[in-house]
Amino acid sequence: MTTSLTGDLEQKPEVRFIDNGKFGKFILDKCPIVQQKFSPAWWAASSFMQTVIPSIIRSRHDTMRYTREMLNCPDGGVVSLDWFEGSPASADSPIAVLFPGLIGDSQSEYLRYIVPALKGIGYRVVTFNNRGRGGLELRTPRLYCAANFDDLELAIDSLREKNPNSLIVASGFSMGGMVLTRYLAERGKQAKVDAAMLISANYDLVNGTKHMETGYFNRFVARVMTKELVNVLMSDKEVLARTDKPVQWDKLKDAVSFRELDRYFTCPMWGYNDPEDYFMDATNNDRLPKIQVPTLALNSADDMFSPYATLPLDKLNEAVVFVVTQRGGHLGFMDRYHTPFYGDRLIEQYHKAILEINRPRELLQST
């Protein structure tokens, strides 16, 4: 099923799923917000404003109190699962596990509304921290990238092993969504989560990166994020420099784009020939049909990282439903002056809907 986008500022999102798909009909029935108009304020309708302003508003929410569970990686590194304090204590209560973006952690502003909200629905809420993020010590000369899901899988395996009877819903934000997509596709029916949601994930890193290299605001955001990443890498240089990989530290410190950062650091660190090689490997468009877990994807057509033309809307199977708003930027989806924004409300509705059914994978049957 397809509902088409137009150029109007205020309109219903495009909802895309296979014809007669049971999961798609479930989303239409149980998530009424997807059939309501998304109405951004006229003064915050651009991709840049939809990306930046919600981040500022969300940052005003209180930081969250967590109980940290450390996970040891096979190479000696560490990641963590941060459990939101006050979550339901029952051993079999459902779990919502959240995977933040590239420079995110368990205190990221886009999680500050949704974490307590999911707890209020009845979930035990836990947020993943990548190596070196969220105050974690970087113990080995290895970080993470968009094409590798080893650490994410370690976290999910740990959750499933310790909670064999619990419903587990995994949500990935931005790059966290990219890595979760890769995991879901590669593991297929063996994925150890019961349902998933992908928020502002990039499915075509080749063309998404090219888009970030066009236009003043896109280049500005890319430059700011690149410099933040470079600062993180340089602060961890003492550990990262232990590698025998040919990282170009002298050039890295002056990088001003994602492509340069990946050329000087990501590619040598992960064994890619050049950025294009890495972008191709991290692109998930053709992997999407391999997903065998009910998965709801939320994107905005004007997302500077993954604009409409890069979305794999022709690659769907019975397990994947896309909701695409005309406006919303990257992780923004601001349709009012305060939270919860449109995306927050959809995340809530989806998690509530999944709680209503005992076996979400039964939704993957066409009618």
Catalytic residues: 174, 303, 330
Distance CA 194, CA 358 (A): 10
Count CA within 13 A, CB hemisphere, residue 302: 25
Cite the beta strand spans of the chain per DSSP E.
14-16, 66-72, 78-84, 95-99, 124-129, 168-173, 195-199, 295-300, 320-325
Contact call for residues 242 and 141 (beta carbons, < 8 A): yes
Q: Which amino acid is at 235?
A: S
Q: At 103, phi and psi to the nearest 5?
A: -115, 25
Cα torsion 359, 294, 196, 289 to 10°: value is: 150
Count CA within 13 A, CB hemisphere, residue 194: 24
Distance CA 86, CA 120 (A): 10
Q: At 93, phi and psi to the nearest 5?
A: -70, 155
Distance CA 98, CA 197 (A): 9
Structure tokens at 323: 């909701």
Please, which residues bridge with residue 324 across strands? 14, 299
Angle at 190 between CA 186 and CA 194, to 5 degrees: 105
